[in-house]
Structure 1
Amino acid sequence: MAKIKFGTDGWRGIIAQDFTFENLTKVAIATAKFYRKHKKIKNGLVIGYDTRFLSKEFAEHVATVIANFGIKVLLSDGYCPTPAVSLAIPKFNCAGGVVVTASHNPYKYNGYKLKGDFGGPEEIESIEKVEKEANKVSKSEFEKLRKSFEQLKEKGLIELVDLKKIYIDDLKTKIDLSAIKNSGLKIIHDAMYGAGQGILTQLVPSAVVIHNEFNPSFGNVNPEPIAKNLGELMKLVPEKGFDIGLATDGDADRIGAVDEKGNFVDPQRVFAILLKYFYEDKGLRGDVVKTVSVGLMVDKLAKKYGLKVYELPVGFKHVATLMVTKDIMIGGEESGGIGVKTHIPERDGLFLGLTICEMMVKRGKKLSEIVDEIFSEIGPHFYKRIDLHTTEEHKQKLLGKLKRGLREIAGYKVNNVLTIDGFKFFFDDGWLLVRASGTEPLLRFYCEADDPAKVDKVLDWIVNLK
């Protein structure tokens, strides 16, 4: 049986192959064993789940296993965004939480995320302990799980909670929804068949939503809010006269944005405009955290504002740990997952999307104008990412070549190299990052430069490097 391994963002596996009820039982037992020593365990654990195939059943199974250890479980009464689980943990003063989700992965995957008592991704050391314990669990321990889901509900050890309502009520206190609604801003949201569906219209009733129904196959499109997956949204925004298009991933913790012209506003630009808004308009202060795949726009703005920047490996768990130990104003990833000190130390796609809408209304500007404003201050920046499914042999060969070092990339002299996660090569007015995915069997190539032609040239060169 394959070893249970927690990657960049939780344990993930192909349903019925790796992600089975048997393996899930092991991870749930390990979770119970770890958290039963927690000082807040009397208040229990929070469990939520997304819209994937069998997610509800998997979540109920996890709740049953954990409750068999005498641990109280607050289980979501329906699918909900990952940030709804994170938000509920400190609200109920719980020891931690679990989200059954594979986030943006293809439909055949499911996954298991651990959340800490502070309301964000669990600390790395704690995750490692759960992983180690899960791989030691024997089948004989399954026999101790005698009480059923219904029996545990009757005993009060499993309680169904409307996490979605708690989450919606919280967003109402953190976004100026009246200003958005009174402005007449035309919003369209691509829920990507994920856990964020049905929420935006409760906050802004005039919003239009697509892919807003239960479909565990996600329409055969990976529920990741990046340009190649948002063709319909990018077409509808200018065609139907929307001011902005928003997209959230499978568990709604990531944001994608489309401007009024139908152009995808990549997460690098989203991070930058949010940093500017929170600093200049909201008056927030503190340091900035970014993962290695985030580009130079954030650095340039932070330098302008006199803010310190921390650069960490990919994975929001690294960002969250810093957010709860230092005074961090904003922290995030290239993937559209960003956390802000006024919310929770967690990614939240809907919160971020509504914040962008609020920004547009308060500034009286179109999204394209807000992006252009950034460019006028720090210069133009263009970005692209390529995900390459490849063989293990080719992956190791390429990574080995990069480890030995490169003097130039596509004719551009390499000025510096960062190796905290993969290989990040800097050249004049740009950079290239190559790293293996922590959640899927593929290589990721990231590039940012001052010219889109330069970006394409560098990516074409690295993808074809022998």
Structure 2
Amino acid sequence: MFELKKSNNLLENELFKSVYDKTPDYIKSLNLMDFNNKGEFSFILKKEHLKQYDEQSNPEGLGLEDWFAGYAKEAKVSTAGIRGPQNILYPQDTRFPINLVGIVLATLAKALVAKEKYPNKRIVKVAGCEVRYNSQLFLDAITRIQAAQGIETLVPVGKRTIPIWLASFLAYKLDLLGGEYITSSHGISVKNATKDLNCQGSQYLPEESMEFVNKIQSIFDEVNEKGSYEIKISASDNPLINENVLKLVDDGVDLYVEYLKSGVAQDFNLDLIKNLNSKIVIENVGGSAYRTLSRVLNKLEISEKFDWFDIEEDSFFHSIGKYDVTPKGEKAFYDYSVDATVIAKRADGTKFFPVIDTMNYSERLKDYPIGTVVLITDPDHDRLTITQTESSERISELDKLGVDYIRLNNDTVLTVFSANQAFLMLMDFWAKQLKDKNLWNNHPRFMIKTTASALSWDEWAKNNDVKVVNVPVGFKEIANIMKKVELKLKNNPADSVVVDDVFGNSIDLGVNPRLLFGGEESGGMIMGTEELIQSQHGRCAVAMREKSATEAIIVASSLVSKINDLGISLSQYLLDVFESNNIIGKFDTRVDIAYYNESEPDINKLKEAKVAGEALRTKNDMFYLAMAIALRENKISLTQIKNVLNDKFSSEGLNFDNLKSVNFVGDGTYLEFDDKYIEIRPSGTDAKTKAYGGGLNKDDIEKYASVLGNYSGDRTELHEEFIPQEYYVKSKDIAMDYYLKFVDKDANNEPFEIPEYDF
């Protein structure tokens, strides 16, 4: 009765079959909204849809109240859009967090909020997607829902793929009300998400997202009161679904190239790339980066300097990161994501790169010379991993530097630089370029970085007189500081710009400062321009709001040309950066603790495992967070915290005598030592914990991060003695209050005024 989708890829077929077998027939039979119908139609949301399915008592049940509870919970804490797993074969399956009905409801809520804020105005947004399962369907739904509400949506011709940063750039540059982008970045294949972009091109902060949550609740209230609610879907050829505007500017590539030429793609960088005497390889995981990036490089007249891997668009991401066995050795489909920097352990305890291992570089790079650089980007093209082939004779030096590598053969290794290492090289190179062109002293320089990023960045900045603003994890946190700086530049251009970081320090950026670098350890970065970036209707920005792998690729390629001229490798350049800037905190680590298998196709098992995992994650977080908040409020001393931690972890070889401070940093707990830092950060949206470390000894920080990140969170006698249970329970809420105060202080809340568009 129901046909199983087939693929030419055996591993993808395993995934399809597993999803098919775990999907009940009543889900397969759903036909709530048929977007193959190109004409206008309506979906009637019924009271029955809100409750759970029951074959006898509620055969129309969709469990939307339960779905909404999860959506609302995630909206309060999300750092990168509302994301989660989906039924890749049956997208109307509302048992999953990401589903067609949920996309429709969220889109409708955002549209209604926009219309209330801007009555009788021409509301224009941009929308796009990458290559994930069902992305085209979701994009079609978003544009048609918005059109039915009188909202115009700019899309590429044929709604083809574009990167997240291009959607963000267009929202800002064209002065749109915002945008919708469908992606789950470098996450596993079965995940998807909607990233809501505001009028700045930045992702919404949690308190902004709550407006949409409240609107969905009001829709549900009306359904409960009246029994139903009509949701209109426009025809697919509605003129408010506008392909013409982006067609005139090559999807916005023309505008973006113009922007790049005012920043990282100035002639002095492009000339270096044009003089390259070897090819740089670009790995396009998922294929969707190629469509835009190739046009950018062609318009910059440097495309001939690059070779391309994996340019075909593929929702299964060319099997990258995919295995038929779990880390525990169980026979089942398992997805490590497409984050090239993920490090796992084999059964024998040895470390390996599970994502890069599936890229088959031993074979694909065998005819390239030693020294070849491979730049790896992700499906929405916002993150970059930098790698380079080197002689295996360099292994001992790489070990001393803390640079990880993969053996390709007996003679060659592939060095894999963490984003902390890679971006340190890029910011150093870019600073040297500005100094060489006598631009450096035109403005005071600053960077915005997440607390989880490297200590070496702070050390480098201090040595180069660059001010540092530390923020919680998430690029929207970086963008929030940008907007605070811009408001001060606008209102008081002759005064020093002072902003607070998440540690509570006031950072004086100087008069008329410029952003040198904004970035995070997970592989996302942006660089500022010398002149403020102007939108078409006069808004000014120090930098764009979303991380861009294209910007990173331009700077990285210029650096590669430079080191080729010098006859050195990237790892040798990194060593020079450490030595010339007196950096001692050379090493960094990140331990990812997942409490369940995200690839589990049985949604009921997945939900149960996730709930159990979230409890473990929260328990681990609360152990450290409660101490950080209690210390901040003078309810516990640092000495007492040392006693708690030594009492618990001394048996595992950890010592906390040189602990200097314990801070809540917006989304995690930051432990600062004399010789290192460790940050324990729970995922706000998943059953995961991330433990970060940076310092003088790699083995040391790896041990601390692993032990503290994997701790059960069970309260010890000393923990209970120093922190009463009542205070422990409410510490999470107290922490949120502190976070919101940080976000709101000096916030740029200038109302957006819809301009008179000339298109």
The answer, yes or no, to whether TM exceeds 0.5 is: yes
Say whether the 8 Å CA contact 1:180–1:358 is kept in structure 2: yes
Within-5 A mapping of 1:23-422: 23-36=102-115, 37-38=117-118, 42=122, 44-77=124-157, 78-138=160-220, 143-150=230-237, 152=238, 155-159=239-243, 161-162=246-247, 165-167=251-253, 170-171=256-257, 173=261, 174-175=264-265, 176-202=269-295, 203=297, 204-218=303-317, 219=319, 221=321, 222-227=337-342, 228=353, 229-231=355-357, 232=359, 235=362, 240-241=368-369, 242-261=371-390, 262-282=414-434, 283=439, 285-326=444-485, 327=513, 328-342=515-529, 344-362=544-562, 364-365=565-566, 366-376=569-579, 377=581, 378-379=583-584, 381-390=586-595, 391-405=613-627, 406-407=641-642, 408=646, 410-413=653-656, 414-420=659-665, 421-422=667-668
Say whether the 8 Å CA contact 2:430–2:555 is kept in structure 1: no
Say whether the 8 Å CA contact 1:50–1:250 is kept in structure 2: yes
Seen in structure 2, the aligned counterparts of structure 1 residues 296 and 148 have a Cα distance that, compared at 3 Å, is same
Say whether the 8 Å CA contact 1:94–1:117 is kept in structure 2: yes
2: CA distance between counterparts of 1:142 and 1:184?
A: 64
Say whether the 8 Å CA contact 2:145–2:233 is kept in structure 1: no
Larger radius of gyration: 2
Name the Cα RMSD after superposition: 2.7
2: CA distance between counterparts of 1:26 and 1:394?
A: 31
Seen in structure 2, the aligned counterparts of structure 1 residues 39 and 453 have a Cα distance that, compared at 3 Å, is farther
2: CA distance between counterparts of 1:411 and 1:146?
A: 59
What is the CA distance between 1:147 and its match in structure 2? 2.3
Letter of the aligned partner of 1:352 in structure 2? A
Mean alpha-carbon deviation: is it higher for 245-254 or for 447-456? 447-456
Q: What percentage of residue pairs aligned between the two structures are identical?
A: 21
Say whether the 8 Å CA contact 1:35–1:41 is kept in structure 2: no
- 1:104-160: CA deviation from partner (whole Å, max 9, x where unpaired): 22111110111222333345543332233234433688624142222x1xx344336
- 1:183-207: CA deviation from partner (whole Å, max 9, x where unpaired): 1242111211153134444422342
2: CA distance between counterparts of 1:146 and 1:461?
A: 52
Equivalent position SS for 1:80:
coil
Say whether the 8 Å CA contact 2:340–2:385 is kept in structure 1: yes
Seen in structure 2, the aligned counterparts of structure 1 residues 84 and 464 have a Cα distance that, compared at 3 Å, is closer
Structure 2: runs of 5 or more not aligned: 1-65, 88-95, 298-302, 322-336, 343-352, 391-413, 486-512, 530-542, 596-612, 628-640, 713-759
Seen in structure 2, the aligned counterparts of structure 1 residues 141 and 244 have a Cα distance that, compared at 3 Å, is farther
TM-score, scaled relative to structure 1: 0.90
2: CA distance between counterparts of 1:141 and 1:67?
A: 22
What is the CA distance between 1:345 and its match in structure 2? 2.5
- 1:35-54: CA deviation from partner (whole Å, max 9, x where unpaired): 33359962600001010001
Seen in structure 2, the aligned counterparts of structure 1 residues 130 and 184 have a Cα distance that, compared at 3 Å, is farther
Structure 1: runs of 5 or more not aligned: none
Letter of the aligned partner of 2:690 in structure 1? R
TM-score, scaled relative to structure 2: 0.57
The equivalent position to 2:698 in structure 1, one of 448, 452, 457, is: 452
Q: Which runs of 4+ in 1 moved over 6 A?
A: none
2: CA distance between counterparts of 1:312 and 1:40?
A: 38
What is the CA distance between 1:234 and its match in structure 2? 6.4
Letter of the aligned partner of 2:308 in structure 1? V
- 1:272-313: CA deviation from partner (whole Å, max 9, x where unpaired): 223223333224543221112112111112211223221111
Seen in structure 2, the aligned counterparts of structure 1 residues 356 and 450 have a Cα distance that, compared at 3 Å, is same
Equivalent position SS for 1:448:
strand
Compare relative contact order (CA 8 Å, sep 6+) and give the higher one, 1 or 2.
1
Seen in structure 2, the aligned counterparts of structure 1 residues 85 and 200 have a Cα distance that, compared at 3 Å, is closer
Counterpart in the other structure of 2:52: none
- 1:70-115: CA deviation from partner (whole Å, max 9, x where unpaired): 1111013311110111121233221111101111221111101112
Seen in structure 2, the aligned counterparts of structure 1 residues 315 and 179 have a Cα distance that, compared at 3 Å, is same
